[in-house]
Structures are given as C-alpha cells and as structure tokens.
Chain A
C-alpha cells in the first residue's frame, strides 16, 4: 500500500529536480508581479504596507494557480497516468503523493520567498511570522483544491483558462482566511482564529480532495 505512495513520491520529486526551470517558474512569477505593484501603485512605504498582506496573498494564489495546470499533464501525455489508474494500488494515495510533491516544489518555495517580498512591500514587522504560517498551510490547501481542477481538465486541449474558472471560486476561503491572518497580525489582533480555520480547511481538503481528484482522473481517462 505504501509502495505506491512512496514510489510516486520519489519519482515525482526526482522528476521535479530534473526540471528545475519548471520549479523556478512560479517563484519568478511571484517575484515579478510583486515588483509590478509598487510600479503600478505607489512607491510610498506607508501605502504599500497597507495593502501588502492582501497583495502578497493574491499573488501567491495566482502563482500557485499557474503551476497547478502542469500537475498531471506530463503524466497524461506519456501514458503514466493510464498505468497509475490500472495499478492495483489505491489511487487516493498516489494522488496524495503527487499533490504533496507539487506543494513541496511550488507552495514551499513561495512560502519561503514571501518574507523577502514582504520586506520589499514594507510589510510591518508583526506580519512576517503569520505570513509564513498562513502561506505554509494555505498553499497546501491551494495545491489540494487545484488538483481537482487539474484532474478535470487534464484531457482537454485548452484546459488552462477553464482550470482557472473552475478553481478560483474554490480558492476563496483560503484567500480570505490567509490574507486576514496577516492583516490581523499587522493590526495587532490575535491570529489564532483565522489560522485555526486555515488548519481546518487544510484537514478537510486533505480528506476530500484526493478522492475527488482520483474520481476526476478516472473520468478524464476513461470518460
């Protein structure tokens, strides 16, 4: 049973490191769009600080959305996905392994980069730790939810735009609680509440999303 999980996990991680450029893409995207904000709005530190929590979260969400499309795509093209579905292993665990790898190579780097970008947007000091914690859990939720959309659209030729339409509404709770965690910390309130809700969202999507993703993959492959 664990064989399928660990085999997929190791294989995907290895593949990800062979294609380092693909890991770098969302991170670079995050960096660039955050750079655009002061150019488009204002270089004034006080005004940037005001919007930094929301901007950082929205941009992290977009970066994550950008990378989610490729989660199953190469496996679909070379036929690995077909093999995975036929294997006498629970698809749930294999899908979970793929999502975990996706989070490790996109969500985690985004989380680690966020404090640096927070500094560039002059995020107040109280916001850094909550930003990291909220993104740590929030990007995992985004990967889990995004996997459902990626699985539903993997067999379609122009799935990209459709994927964002499908996934965006489902992203909203994570965005609301993630961004307000940082905002509350900056405003000097306790962040326990929103962080706890983010944790609950993570637990819930961990439970439900691999099931839905596995079902969606079966639909995509066999109709």
Chain B
C-alpha cells in the first residue's frame, strides 16, 4: 500500500526528505558510475586495439607494395 497521501508528501517524507533523497541519489549515481566506467573503458580499449590493427594493416600494405616495386 502506498504510504503517502500524495506525491508532494512522498517527496517531503515527513521532513526527512532531503536526507532520504540525497542518500538515494548519491548511492544511485555512484552505482551507475560503477557500471558505466568499465563500459566506457572497454569501448576506448576496443577503439585503441582497432586503430593499432588498422595501422599494422596499412604498414603491411606499404611494405608489400615497396617489395613489389623493387
């Protein structure tokens, strides 16, 4: 059963609103960061590896072409 008369009261929480909501907000944002930061690191890492692969392919290409010309 919903414990509050209306949304206004739900937000105020009988005067304890600021405490409850700040605690929940801080925890929530920190926990979201815990999940988002590895995802971002992973994307960056994949991009790095991919870039390196491209560079190696390009290098091989120039090497083989120079081989051909000689």
Physical contact A–B (CB less than 8 Å): no
